[in-house]
Amino acid sequence: MERILIIAEKPAQAREYAAALGVKGKGQGWLENDQYVITWCIGHLLELERPEGYMDLEHVGKRWSLKRLPVLPAVDSFRRTIKSQTRQQFQVLQKWLKSSEITQVICGTDADREGQLLFQEVWDLVGCTKPLSRLWISSLTREAILEGMNQLRPGQAVEGLSAAGNGRAFADWDFGMNLTEGFTSLFGSFDTVRKKPNVVSIGRVQTPTLALIVRREWEIEQFVAETYFEISAAFSAEQGQYTGRWFDPAQENRRLTDRETAEHIAARTQGQPGKIIRAEQKKVSEAPPLLFDLTSLTVTASRRFGFSAEKVLELAQSLYDKKAITYPRTDCAYLPADMIPKLPAHLKALRQEPYQENVDEAMTYSVPQNKRVINTITAHHAIIPTTETVHLNKLPEAERQLFDLIARRFLAVWFPPAWYQQTEIVTEAAQEHFRSKGRILLSSGWKMVYDFEDAQDPQAESSGTTGKTRRKNKNRENQQEENTELPAVSQGDSVQTTEVRIDEKSTKPPKRFTQGDLLKAMESAGKQIEDDVLRQQLKGKGLGTVATRPAIIENLLQRGYIRQEQKTLRPTEKGTQLISLIQNRLPHAALLISAEMTGQLEYDLAQVEKGELALEKYMSEVEEAVIRIINELRAYEQKYGKTPLAQAPARSARSAESAKSSKKVHTSSEDQSDQTDKSAKKTKGAKEENGSSAARESGPEKLGPCPRCGEGVIEGNKGYGCSNWKSGCGFVVWKTPICGKTLSQAQMKSLLKKGKTPLIKGFKSKSGKSFNACLVWEDAANGKLKFAFNHD
């Protein structure tokens, strides 16, 4: 029998492929019929070998030190090992990749760099040479899957993507493994509170992101407030009353910093006659906001609902798995031209409450085709609802809130622009000038999609009045003018000044980053870019990728480099000392805190993906940088010796919440450094290792991945079973006492994560003798355990 093998990223994705292709048979770790075998990876099945695997430990020793460094394997010398908790699923993939029944292989993992990498790791280790194709889709609807199967890409078409995936992994390993060990050996210590080493974690993306937060804090600390004065005057004209604000026509941005001058102007103009020297009215349009990419979605959800970046990614992934939205890990806010004929189907899928009225009106307009909607895309287009009707009442509240943002943003682009009547009056009194502005909504256009108070939010994030760039202060100014109606005066009209008021104000320091603000800063490598169209044009040189930035922020919180205070992020003493040390004492290491330099590395990685830069060339630049920094650390050690940094503060409730959240969804942090910290949680790759259901907000806690199918294991009254039991997975470990001991939840978590429990004391043999042992898997897929007396 000749069959086609499809390898998905996780079980939920495999089930969608099976449903679309009519595959109903089930095996232990795969689905099948006469034409297809569909199996899955459960995220990364492999991990890069630790540095010790490349060392002569008898010569360099087991203790971290600079004399063991650098460890820089050649591109073709990096080795990967099979993770113990996913070994069984790897064996399933290996079996089918080598099977004589399989004549063609289709990579069906997520269509991005990390999805390609987790497949490529297995493909390379197995050494498969069968014909290979790539399934490239942006949603899991039946229509999208079948269309993708009819338009498979040749395996060679994604070789650049595979190379870039390896480049990301290898570079993060080089930076993280070498520099974390190097910095910790010089600046680390033993944390007597936590009873573990105070590791100084360094990462290619993590460290420059920390630098953004620390430098913002320094700006705030060094800020000196400046007092200034605003003068406003009330005028009476024949047509009505209005107010204006003083300005200097020779220097538009001039601030009055001298009270005496302000009082002199106020005294000169108080009660004086005035004259209208300019009165202009014009109609201006405001285009709908751009569609969402992951960053803008996160910023909006954070502002509206207080969601963390990690939370938004978790919710979006769950909506994608439920076929509610298109692929969420996208950095693009546009749609491709070939989607124009399909957009009405996406719109019709929203024809239910609370969107039905808006959908009906949107259908009276033509399909949106302007450049703010249809434009050049990157690997994936903007996030929009799919062609599947979503049962909103079945979604958890947080998912429903996020879907509502996406649905309304998609609806908005079908509607015409909003139109305003904008009025500007310049009044002269006693040779002083006052400006008055008003803005009246004439036609709501796309804003009718939003509730009245919500209409300001998308406007503030993006859109352009008559195509011009709009800065934050411009947005605030427009909001203040909103619904301000000025009298219909004309140039040359006489007025009377009825009141003059002086308001004392002071300049404000820069604001601390929120998670949303930080994501935008990471995207633009620290540059403040408010205009969304320009932001789309400058992508590619940011810190990390759209899918990995949330995990970077979570890692900084968990490692004690930053803390969250309400919605803002502040550096800890440990984080501040690290950046200060690098900036002031380690000039070669300064590239680690250069957002522009790290952004350039990300840009070079994109060139590897396009085939315009060889992977070996990219890695040679990384290796040279690591060598320079290690040599600099040696020189520092000779001159100053070991100088421990501050230890991380006690974990806050926010940090504990972050740690709990990160156990649900494992996204690539683009930093491999914490693999070297035995007490720190390992950063495990780019995807959800315990399947799509782990992203759900409600329901029992997922204790770890099911050894049989990869879904989450949950605790029941009588045992620990797979949450996928309704679909036929029979994995269970019963709570029946074993030699007098019942397996606890913590012990089960350890089993699922490490393949064994911690040492359990007080087992009773049949003769009544007490003994201590660990429990390990005898047959993981069937939940069978055995004792292990070697506790190392």
Q: What is the pLDDT of residues 320-357, one digit of tens each?
A: 999 999 999 898 999 999 899 999 999 999 999 999 99
pLDDT higher than 80, residue 595: no
Average pLDDT of the chain is 86
pLDDT higher than 90, residue 398: yes
**Least-confidence region, from 377-391, 396-410, 607-621, 718-732:** 718-732
Asked if 233 and 88 sit in the same domain, the reply is: no
pLDDT higher than 60, residue 454: no
Predicted confidence band of residue 674 (pLDDT cuts 50, 70, 90) = very low
The pLDDT assigned to 104 comes to: 97
pLDDT higher than 80, residue 526: no
Residue in this structure with the two tokens 């910093």, named with its chain if needed: 257
pLDDT higher than 90, residue 235: yes
- Count of helices and strands (H, E) across the chain: 23, 25
- Confirm whether 562 is domain-assigned: yes
Query: Is there a contact between 236 and 495 (Cβ–Cβ < 8 Å)?
Result: yes
Tens of pLDDT, residues 695-752: 333 457 888 888 877 788 898 878 898 887 766 677 889 888 888 888 898 899 989 9
Tens of pLDDT, residues 72-131: 999 999 999 999 889 999 999 999 999 999 999 999 998 888 899 999 999 999 999 999
Asked if 113 and 152 sit in the same domain, the reply is: yes
Query: Is there a contact between 479 and 456 (Cβ–Cβ < 8 Å)?
Result: yes
Contacts with 285 (C-beta within 8 Å, 6 or more apart), sequence order: 417, 418, 419, 420, 465, 466
Asked if 545 and 640 sit in the same domain, the reply is: yes
Q: Which of residues 115, 135, 164 is at a domain's end? A: 164
- Confirm whether 381 is domain-assigned: yes
**Least-confidence region, from 58-72, 636-650, 753-767:** 753-767
- Confirm whether 690 is domain-assigned: no
Query: Is there a contact between 347 and 386 (Cβ–Cβ < 8 Å)?
Result: no
Tens of pLDDT, residues 352-386: 999 999 999 999 999 999 999 999 887 789 999 99
Give the Cα separation of 210 and 598 in Å (integer): 13
- Confirm whether 692 is domain-assigned: no
Q: Which of residues 128, 148, 164 is at a domain's end? A: 164
Q: Which helix (H) or strand (E) holds 94?
A: helix 87-98
**Domain of 483, in residue numbers:** 227-288+418-506
Structure tokens given for 20: 């679309």
Mean pLDDT of 387-395: 94
Predicted confidence band of residue 480 (pLDDT cuts 50, 70, 90) = low
Mean pLDDT of 259-268: 96
pTM of the shown model: 0.77
- Confirm whether 694 is domain-assigned: no
Q: Which of residues 412, 428, 459 is at a domain's end? A: 412
The burial of 212, by beta-carbon neighbours within 10 Å (0-12 exposed, 13-18 middle, 19 or more buried), is given as: buried
Asked if 364 and 399 sit in the same domain, the reply is: yes
From the CB of residue 118, how many other CB atoms can be counted at a distance below 10 Å? 26
DSSP assignment letter at 155 = G
Tens of pLDDT, residues 765-783: 877 788 888 998 887 877 8
pLDDT higher than 60, residue 403: yes
How far out from the chain centre does Cα 128 lie? 33
pLDDT higher than 80, residue 515: yes
Asked if 541 and 650 sit in the same domain, the reply is: yes
From the CB of residue 154, how many other CB atoms can be counted at a distance below 10 Å? 11
Query: Is there a contact between 136 and 153 (Cβ–Cβ < 8 Å)?
Result: yes
Predicted confidence band of residue 151 (pLDDT cuts 50, 70, 90) = very high
- Confirm whether 687 is domain-assigned: no
Q: Which helix (H) or strand (E) holds 700?
A: none
How far out from the chain centre does Cα 377 lie? 19
Asked if 445 and 515 sit in the same domain, the reply is: no
Give the Cα separation of 122 and 134 in Å (integer): 15
Orientation of helix 206-222 relative to helix 515-523, angle to 10°:
120
Give strand pairing partners of 352.
none
Q: Calculate the alpha carbon distances from 376 to 137, 144, 411, 525, 610 in Å.
A: 17, 20, 21, 22, 16
**Least-confidence region, from 173-177, 296-300, 536-540, 567-571:** 536-540
- Confirm whether 497 is domain-assigned: yes
Look up 327 and say whether it is catalytic. yes
- Confirm whether 704 is domain-assigned: yes
Asked if 526 and 500 sit in the same domain, the reply is: no
Asked if 651 and 586 sit in the same domain, the reply is: yes
Tens of pLDDT, residues 84-100: 889 999 999 999 999 99
* End-to-end alpha carbon distance in the chain: 47
Structure tokens given for 723: 């949450």
Say which of 320, 327, 355, 450 is annotated catalytic. 327
From the CB of residue 437, how many other CB atoms can be counted at a distance below 10 Å? 16
Peptide bond into 70 cis (omega under 30): yes
Cα-Cα-Cα-Cα torsion 780, 784, 785, 786, nearest 10 degrees, comes to -110
Best CA proximity match to 743, nearest among 693, 783, 690, 710: 783
pLDDT higher than 90, residue 660: no
Mean pLDDT of 263-285: 96
The more confidently predicted of residues 458 and 154 is: 154
The pLDDT assigned to 458 comes to: 47
CATH number for the domain that contains residue 339: 1.10.290.10
Asked if 147 and 92 sit in the same domain, the reply is: yes
pLDDT higher than 60, residue 673: no
Asked if 530 and 672 sit in the same domain, the reply is: yes
The pLDDT assigned to 373 comes to: 96
Query: Is there a contact between 246 and 233 (Cβ–Cβ < 8 Å)?
Result: yes
Give the Cα separation of 448 and 443 in Å (integer): 9
Contacts with 654 (C-beta within 8 Å, 6 or more apart), sequence order: 557, 563, 564
Give the Cα separation of 174 and 73 in Å (integer): 9
Asked if 67 and 185 sit in the same domain, the reply is: no
Predicted confidence band of residue 15 (pLDDT cuts 50, 70, 90) = very high
CATH number for the domain that contains residue 502: 2.70.20.10
Mean pLDDT of 516-537: 69
How many domains would you assign to the chain? 5
Give the Cα separation of 89 and 709 in Å (integer): 8
CATH number for the domain that contains residue 592: 1.10.460.10
pLDDT higher than 70, residue 667: no
Mean pLDDT of 515-531: 76
The more confidently predicted of residues 768 and 200 is: 200
Asked if 250 and 331 sit in the same domain, the reply is: no
